[in-house]
Amino acid sequence: MTQTPVSTHGVPDTANRPLAPDRRSLAPDLARGIMLLVIALAHTHLFTVFIGGTETTPSVLDRIATAGTVMFVDLRAYPMFAALFGYGLAQIHRRRTEQGREWRWTRALLRRRGFWLVVLGLAHGVLLFPGDILAVYGAVSLLLVGVLRFRDRTLVIMALAWLPLAATAHALVAAEGAVSGLGFPLMPDGLVNEFLFRVTVYPVLIVMMFLSTVVPFLIGVLAARHRVLEKPHEHLRLLRTTALVGVPVAVLGAIPFALTKTGVWTDPTALDMLLVAPLHQVTGYVGGMGYAALIALVAVRTNHSRGRVTVALSALGQRSMTFYLAQSVVWAVLFSSYTLHVQLTSPAVGVGVAVAVWATTVVLADLMRRRGQRGPAETVLRRLTYGPSS
């Protein structure tokens, strides 16, 4: 008779293996796959600033692309990604608890995972793209893992208490930019100069992103506790309300900021930005949750009859870390001065580049699914977290 291998803690070793694709919930994977498009749009828009600024006389398409990015992408996609990270962390905690693991063991596991996220993220941010989010997520795992055991009410209070801090930080940065007239620094040419640029910019960005991550992270933990995305059919009223309110609020709240970015509102004062930036930030949180709810509603409709597009998008979501890093490799090849050095000064062209790169990753992820291949980055992180037998 064959026996199932058992670890020293009395839990089958198979419990440490990743869930089979057919046992995974559709909504979180679908959300991650779609949000990688929005992340790509945000990154290419940044490169129009980093590489040489926008054109002195932007075209109508460029203005539309900039306005669309501000209203639908900027500080709207990231909160959803952060919420999905919190959701995933809470899922790991719940599964390990159901398997009989003690909190001390699970806490050590999640902190080990967070440590390696910090290591991988620092390498990513310094070598490829300074807007890295992996190290931020790792830091959140290390510092806030204890919230996984907090009561729902405590999570809500923490989120409400943190919200003014994040909004104030963005308001001060925006106000300082209005006073000084300075925007993002331009990326210099040369291998060493670009490296030093990333090293200089990265610490500032990572602090701002950490401040922006805590609130959606806590919301994600709360949502996972009630399995909102795993069992969306049980939360249809909540999801519909969140989608119908969240997305329009995010768009409306971004209009003042979009007017400044497109040049329609010229010369906003520091006081103006102290009001506009927090509005943009807070409504972005609402919009991120609206996006997640909207995708969950789509998942409800397609869960039992998944078409090829849905399957491919969920395959991308299952390998989101791999293709998030792959995007940065593409950016390095396209935009670095020591590679192709593409001069991306048109936001409209940036949109086309982002869509093309994302569509390519969808195809590649689906090919990996067909071959039964997991994402290399996910495999590395899992082995560093659980050990070589995972």
Q: Of residues 185 and 127, which shows the higher confidence score?
A: 127
Helix 134-144 vs helix 103-127: crossing angle, to nearest 10: 150
- Beta carbons of 155 and 147 less than 8 angstroms apart: yes
- Domain range list for the chain: 23-386
Q: Which of 108, 84, 86 is nearest to 96 (CA)?
A: 108
Q: What confidence score (pLDDT) does residue 8 get?
A: 37
Mean of all residue pLDDT scores within the chain: 87
CB 103 within 8 A of CB 130: no
State the virtual CA torsion across 235, 240, 245, 247 in degrees, nearest 10.
100
Look up residue 6 and give its DSSP letter: B
User: Which has the higher per-residue pLDDT, 121 or 25?
Assistant: 121
pTM, whole model, 2 decimals?
0.88
Residue 327 has pLDDT above 80, yes or no: yes
Q: What is the DSSP secondary structure assignment for residue 207, as one 8-state letter?
A: H
pLDDT at 345 over 80: yes
For 352-388, the DSSP string reads: HHHHHHHHHHHHHHHHHHHTTPPPHHHHHHHHHHH-T
pLDDT at 249: 95
Q: What pLDDT, on the 0 to 100 scale, is given for residue 1?
A: 38
pLDDT digits (tens, 9 = 90+) for 353-370: 999 999 999 999 999 999
* pLDDT band at 301; cut points 50, 70, 90: confident
User: What is the structure's pLDDT at 188?
Assistant: 82
Where residue 4 falls among pLDDT bands split at 50, 70, 90?
very low
Residue 24 has pLDDT above 50, yes or no: yes
Is the model more confident about 148 or about 265?
Answer: 148
Q: Is 266 helix (H, G, I), strand (E, B) or coil?
A: coil
* Cα–Cα dist 143/81, whole Å: 19
How confident is residue 19, by pLDDT bands cut at 50, 70 and 90?
A: low
